[in-house]
Amino acid sequence: MKKREEPLVFAAAALLLYCPALLAPPPPVDQGFLEANALLRLPWAGFWSGLLSRYYFILTGEATYQPLITLLHYLTAGLPSVFHVLVVGAHAFNAWLLFVLARRLGLGDKTSWLAGLLLAAFPPATEAVAVPSFAGHIFGLTATLSCVVCWLCAQEGRRDEKWWLAGSYSGFIAGLLCKETVVVAPALLALCRFCDVRPAPWRKTLIHGAGFPVLAAGYLAWRFSLPLLPSIPAPHRADWMLSLGWYARMLAAPWPLCFEHAGLPAGLTAFAGLFVLVGSFVVLKPALLLGWGWIVLELLPYLHFIPFAHTSPVADRYLYFAAAGYCLLLGQLFDSRKGRIILAVSLILWSALTLRRNVMLADGPGLCEQTGACAPDSAPAQIMVGNSRLSRGLYGPANEAYLKAVAIDPSQSVAWSNLGISRCMLGDYDGGIEAFEKSLALLNSPQVRSNLENARKEKKKATSAAGRKPRAGPSLP
């Protein structure tokens, strides 16, 4: 096969796996994301000014710094299918870049193909690919892999060495503007230096790599100086051993897939211990160090050493960066004739899981119910279930879901607001007014104030009718 035809294989694989969800609307977990981003509604001059300002988080309502992704959303406004195709294309490109990296590191040609295809089929990646607000993970890995591949090419001492080095630095800078996790890329480059089959002299490596820590330090200083929106969730704290155990377990057996995970069992610490134990043996074998070390470095930002804003301790999409290292590690472990059979079987199983998940992503109501069943102790999951039922006019079941959500977490203003709507639609105006008031006490929203006023008017109309009880069906926005 010609080199220029190789990316087409990965593009075809990604398209085949993700075609059921390509034309589907954004999943319910992402409802309101684009509407809440005030920056996307500004004219070009105002948008560009806000994108580069210190008030990025306040204008976008986001909790992560990803101006390049915000720009992509702006350019594809009103064209969700175009945005989705671009994301799937980037995912396929990541698989091809991993194939190039595996072959560059000395893995066999067939093993390198399997490693790249495994990344294309990795089941937890469906969350990052399917949800527009999570696209930073996809393009962030694109930038990271580009940075690493260009770096290794620059180390070979070619005539176009400067261009490859410029490509590596450009990839790193672009990645920092897509996803904060890319900040670990310099550590990955150092790891590649140890594992490279054709290492460059140390002096050359140090000169080429001197700018990466400087750029990383400057980025972190800028990013953490930006003021946050007051409504962004408080930083989530969790036991890092439990989180590591969950990620290790999901890498070994990537199922079940869910938008929310809550109530991690204590038994997951055993998986964390096993992961560390395996790593202690891997360190003794430099050929395996890159894959395992890649996993560790990419998981570090999500192990809660530094608390970050999220509604649950773990998430499928946080495995996306680590998945590249995991597929590389599998290739290093099974780079033999018999080993490739194991990789091929894994590829078939992963493809089946990914295809099933994408079919579910195209079924909005079914996806919401699955999320609620998967995470019964998660307030956001129950809100998602309630929203789905409410939009279909199932006011009683929606009311039950919102009651579960506020019982789990009484600080969820959205749950109280939507509970007020469902109660009013059932004719319980007093209960609806009470729920709206509790929502306003948590977050002063103009929409909730309007709903509260409408509920009071509808109650007055209903009670003023002689001999008639309040009926369901008020006109609430």
Based on the fold, state whether residues 152 and 190 are members of the same structural domain.
Answer: yes
Domain count, the chain: 2
pLDDT at res. 371: 94
pLDDT at res. 477: 46
Residue 292 inside a domain? The answer is no
Which residues form the domain of 98? Answer: 3-235+336-361
Residue 36 inside a domain? The answer is yes
Question: Which CATH number do you get for residue 440?
Answer: 1.25.40.10
pLDDT at res. 31: 65
Cβ neighbours of residue 46 closer than 8 Å, sequence gap 6 or more: none
Based on the fold, state whether residues 340 and 442 are members of the same structural domain.
Answer: no
Which portions of the chain are predicted below pLDDT 50? 466, 470, 472-477
Residue 351 inside a domain? The answer is yes
Based on the fold, state whether residues 161 and 47 are members of the same structural domain.
Answer: yes
Based on the fold, state whether residues 349 and 397 are members of the same structural domain.
Answer: no
pLDDT at res. 262: 80
Q: How many CB atoms lie within 10 A of CB 314?
A: 25
Based on the fold, state whether residues 10 and 40 are members of the same structural domain.
Answer: yes
Residue 372 inside a domain? The answer is no
pLDDT at res. 231: 64
Based on the fold, state whether residues 344 and 402 are members of the same structural domain.
Answer: no
pLDDT at res. 466: 41
pTM: 0.92
